[in-house]
Amino acid sequence: MDFGRAFTYAFDDKEWVTKLLIGGILSLIPIVNLVVLGYTLKTLKNVADGVEPPLPGWDDFADYFVKGLISCLGIVVWAIPILAVAGMFAVLGLVAEYDPGYGYEGPVNLCFLGLNCLSLLYGLFLSVVLPAALTGYALTDEFGAFFRFGEIFRFIKSNLGNYVMAILLALVAQFVAGFGVILCFIGVVFTEFWAGLVGAHLFGQVYHDSTLAEPEVAA
């Protein structure tokens, strides 16, 4: 895998300024920013398919929006356990607030601690699994790809080294993007969108390399 190219490929496109500016501006608009998620997934598919240049045009807003919306729904379904824990936090908060002195404070605090641990563990689990689920959806355009657990875990296991490296480098890109705030509005417009494109290229490469090495697993 060419990890370094994931950070630079966007700038090799002849229209990179226009494409990144459009994506950056759209990412700032609520609801409309689902288009950006769809565009990013299209980029991932292009990388996985070996399309050059990987960055698509901005000529299919409707398709990108639908892709982004479906992806968002898939992520929400995966996040249901965390949402359930948040509901439990709310209930425990009410119990703690209206405790009339019956000694609930100790058990409530213990429950808070347990729920915090569960949330942390499941959050880490999601950070590992969701990129594979999104990759599956990007390649198939099928909502069910989010929940083909066997395929998802098989993909991660068979490409573990590259997959973990992709996750770590995607986090590095997000960290670097944070410095866009220093450049004020223009920096934010470019860097946040750019970081998403870096992640798309990384996971697209993971899939592309897996199809070359083990076509029967990636099918």
pLDDT digits (tens, 9 = 90+) for 150-188: 999 999 999 999 999 999 999 999 888 776 554 555 566
Per the CB < 8 A criterion, the answer to whether 180 and 28 are in contact is no
Cα–Cα distance for residue pair 170/175, rounded to 1 Å: 9
At which residue do the structure tokens 């992709």 appear? 166
Per-residue model confidence as pLDDT tens digits over 19-63: 998 998 898 889 999 999 999 999 999 999 999 999 999 999 999
The single residue listed with the structure tokens 């223009």 is 186
In angstroms, the CA 157 to CA 121 distance is 19
Structure pTM? 0.83
Nearest to 41 by CA among 70, 78, 4, 6: 70
Q: How confident is the model at residue 136, as a pLDDT?
A: 95
Residue 97, token pair as written in the block: 């607030």
Q: Which residues lie closer than 8 Å to 64 by C-beta, 6 or more apart?
A: 34, 35, 36, 37, 38, 39, 42
Give the model confidence (pLDDT) of 201-210 as tens digits.
999 999 998 8
Q: What does the DSSP 8-state code read for residue 57?
A: P
Sign of dihedral through CA atoms 162, 82, 37, 184? Answer: negative
Instruction: Work out whether the CA dihedral 120, 91, 81, 41 comes out positive or negative.
Output: negative
Residues 16/10, Cβ–Cβ less than 8 Å: yes
Per-residue confidence at 91, pLDDT binned at 50, 70, 90?
low
Domain range list for the chain: 3-218
pLDDT digits (tens, 9 = 90+) for 101-111: 544 556 656 67
How many Å apart are CA 135 and CA 208, to the nearest integer? Answer: 11
